[in-house]
Amino acid sequence: MLASDYGPGALLAGDSREYRLGSVIAEGGEGIVYRIQGRDDVVAKLYKEWEYTRDAKLHGLIDVSNKRLRRVAAWPLSRLCDAEDKTVGFVMESLEGWQPLHSAYQIRSRLQHAPNRSWAYLVRIARNLATCVHHAHDHDLVIGDLNESNILVGPDAMVKIIDADSFQIRVENTLYPCKVGKPELLAPELQGQSLEGTERTADQDRFALAVLIFQTLVFGRHPFAGRPERDVDVPLEESIQRGWYVFTDRRQVPVAPPPHLDLDFLPPEIKELFERAFDPAEPVRPSAREWFGALKELEGTLGACDVNGSHVHWNGQRRCPWCSLEEKWNVTLFRPAPLDPLSAADFDVEEVWKRLVALPFPKVEDPPAPIDYKQLAPAELPGWQRWIVRPILARGVHSGFWVIYLSIVFGRELIRIGPAVQILLALAIVIFVVQCFFVERVRRRVRKANDRLESLWKEWTSKADAHVYEMRLSDLNTLRHGLLNNHKRYETAREERVRQLHRADLEHYLRKYSILAADSAQGRSKLSQLHDRGIETAADIVPENLKRVRDFESQLWNDLLVWRRALEDQFWHASTYALPPHEERSILEKIHREDVAMRRELLSAQEELVDLAVRLRERQNELRAQAEPFREQIRQYGPTLVAYEPTVKA
């Protein structure tokens, strides 16, 4: 029976249990991959055509299975047999959600599936691919059909090979060869040859491995694809067969590299491995173990661009190669990102912050506040003042002025009355003089002292209080968060720039929506009136037009603003605008300059805070010394004023 004879729900026998097919995941040239009901960890592959040799080959593959092989490949775990005990497929590990290798090295697909990954991600994929090939060869297996579609990459850059049932294996002196292969990945000696019955070698796998590593590191570029020196198209297979590696430094070839691309971003050790892998004169190609060692060493020499944190490259290059290529190709190679503040070797923002908050906080002191003299105990007055002056003041202070005024106006008549009135008039004058020249004098002194104390108190709270230190520490904490969230600052700046550049597109979009379609509780009639006044579409809902609708209810305009904002959000959410590389660099350079300034400020903050604490303490002592004479003056005169205060309200 063929794979097409089965479908979801079909029950097949495994080596130790039964498996029921679920929905189809994928379909290839040789078979169909199904989910297995009740199992998320494994899937089933059913062959489209039956072959009598498959049963023995699968037995052999399952027999050599071990932890190392299952770690690098979706290894056959169990045969699947029909009712007649014929092998129709096998069970293997589920790798659903993993992406084919070409989705990682092709720029556009990588930016879609792994948008925040750098070149270090590609180097790690290449290294893990070398690991997979090494383990296969170490078990005397030949992969044969090693290509970018049957190599899957996980989200953590782990790599596994699928279609392990096509590997070449020898079982009990019987060779089961790999019968397929992509021409662009076949070694020169296999070009143009029939693969049916051909015994493949590990050295031929090494050629395919070198091509795939090259494509992974060089953004999908094939090492034998270039520009012919003559205006004659050269097939890729011919270039491979003749050994025309376009980036070779060893020999002359009639094919030149593509424009604006060289391999200077690779260390000499990696370039030499490519030369050995693609030079027909070399007796043996580099092994997977050699590639693993060179790529591991390359990982240890990676560094970030001074401007774009996502531009990770070999630090043997002074200038960032990705900035240069993006400028020449006008293509974004890696999604731009500001430098990670935690990755700088000479600066750890959290460590700097720990040192700042560990500094001794200035002692909280009470400022020299004004004194409420009314709370002071009244002074003890001499007997005659206590028994005569104070009661007189208490009764006469409010009438003293009127007594004098009336004495002046009716003075002649009062004098005629007699000596008693004259004595009373003199007494009133005395009361008034006492009020003016004694009580008021004391009060002015107390008030003036308190005014000065209040001035010193304000200066203390603004320039000498511990909260000044606290506010500065808060400002530094804002810088800290700005550095830690520089990706958000970049995204915000980038979004603003995108909206600036595509403002006209937004206006065009808004003009498609008539104001009559707006959602407003004010009713369609009022919308029609606005439409008649020239406010016809969502693009017309702008502040400049507000004066044209002043006679309408404000709620109507608010409803329209909400409607327009919803349309704007809808437009930007659905848009896929990208900034040109030079715009991206401009934003990144701005963020980088801001980050540098923030780092400098934080690095110098420890000395600044220590100095600030000293200056605050010194200023507090100065202000306290300035305040003491005024406090003493209030303590001296305040009780006397309180003694007379029942008659003199401040």
486 or 34, which is more confident: 34
368 or 24, which is more confident: 24
- The closest of 610, 359, 599, 613 to 476, measured between CA atoms, is 599
Mean pLDDT for 579-595 is: 83
- Residue 396: predicted pLDDT: 44
| Reduced DSSP (H G I as helix, E B as strand, rest coil) percent helix, strand, coil of the chain, to 5 | 55, 10, 35
pLDDT surpasses 80 at 600: yes
The highest-confidence range among 17-21, 411-415, 423-427, 530-534, by mean pLDDT, is: 17-21
Q: List C-alpha distances in Å: 376 to 451, 484, 637.
A: 18, 55, 10
Instruction: Tell me the C-alpha distance between 206 and 211, whole Å.
Output: 9
Question: 375-404: per-residue pLDDT in tens?
Answer: 777 777 665 455 555 555 554 444 444 455
The highest-confidence range among 20-29, 72-81, 408-417, 441-450, by mean pLDDT, is: 72-81
Mean pLDDT for 214-223 is: 96
Instruction: Tell me the C-alpha distance between 163 and 152, whole Å.
Output: 11
- Residue 45: predicted pLDDT: 92
Mean pLDDT for 547-576 is: 82
pLDDT surpasses 80 at 6: no
pLDDT surpasses 70 at 49: yes
- Dump strand ranges (E) for 28-96: 31-36, 39-47, 78-81, 87-93
The DSSP annotation for 446-507 comes to HHHHHHHHHHHHHHIIIIISHHHHHHHHHHHHHHHHHHHTHHHHHHHHHHHHHHHHTHHHHH
Rg over alpha carbons for the chain, rounded to the nearest Å, is 45
Residue matched to tokens 């912050």: 353
- Residue 399: predicted pLDDT: 46
DSSP, res 387: I
pLDDT surpasses 60 at 150: yes
Instruction: Tell me the C-alpha distance between 49 and 29, whole Å.
Output: 10
Lowest mean pLDDT among 189-203, 510-524, 562-576, 615-629: 510-524
* Contact assessment for residue 439 and residue 641, using Cβ atoms and an 8 Å cutoff: yes
435 or 363, which is more confident: 363
- Residue 535: predicted pLDDT: 86
pLDDT band at 410 (very low <50, low <70, confident <90, very high): low
Question: 249-305: per-residue pLDDT in tens?
Answer: 988 998 999 888 999 999 999 999 999 999 999 999 999 999 999 999 999 999 988
Question: 127-136: per-residue pLDDT in tens?
Answer: 999 999 999 9
631 or 378, which is more confident: 631
Q: Which residues pair with 47 in a beta bridge?
A: 31
Instruction: Tell me the C-alpha distance between 19 and 9, whole Å.
Output: 9
Instruction: Tell me the C-alpha distance between 633 and 447, whole Å.
Output: 10
The one-letter amino acid at 570? Q
Instruction: Tell me the C-alpha distance between 9 and 34, whole Å.
Output: 10
The whole-chain average pLDDT of the chain stands at 85
Lowest mean pLDDT among 195-199, 306-310, 326-330: 306-310
Strand, helix or coil at 252? coil
pLDDT surpasses 70 at 370: yes
pLDDT band at 230 (very low <50, low <70, confident <90, very high): confident
The one-letter amino acid at 89? G
- Residue 268: predicted pLDDT: 95
DSSP, res 627: H
Helix ranges (DSSP H) in 511-553: 524-532
Beta strand 227-228 pairing with 302-304: unpaired
Instruction: Tell me the C-alpha distance between 165 and 292, whole Å.
Output: 25
pLDDT band at 155 (very low <50, low <70, confident <90, very high): confident
Mean pLDDT for 542-560 is: 75
- Residue 417: predicted pLDDT: 58
- Residue 26: predicted pLDDT: 85
Percent of the chain topping pLDDT 70: 86
pLDDT band at 635 (very low <50, low <70, confident <90, very high): confident
Long-range pairs of 218-224 with CB within 8 A, sequence gap ≥ 24: 218/261, 218/263, 219/105, 219/106, 219/107, 219/333, 220/102, 220/105, 220/106, 220/107, 221/258, 221/261, 222/184, 223/247, 223/274, 223/278, 224/255, 224/278
pLDDT band at 362 (very low <50, low <70, confident <90, very high): confident
* Contact assessment for residue 256 and residue 229, using Cβ atoms and an 8 Å cutoff: yes
* Contact assessment for residue 457 and residue 370, using Cβ atoms and an 8 Å cutoff: yes
- Residue 270: predicted pLDDT: 96
pLDDT surpasses 60 at 405: no
- The closest of 124, 119, 201 to 157, measured between CA atoms, is 124
- The closest of 252, 311, 309 to 279, measured between CA atoms, is 252
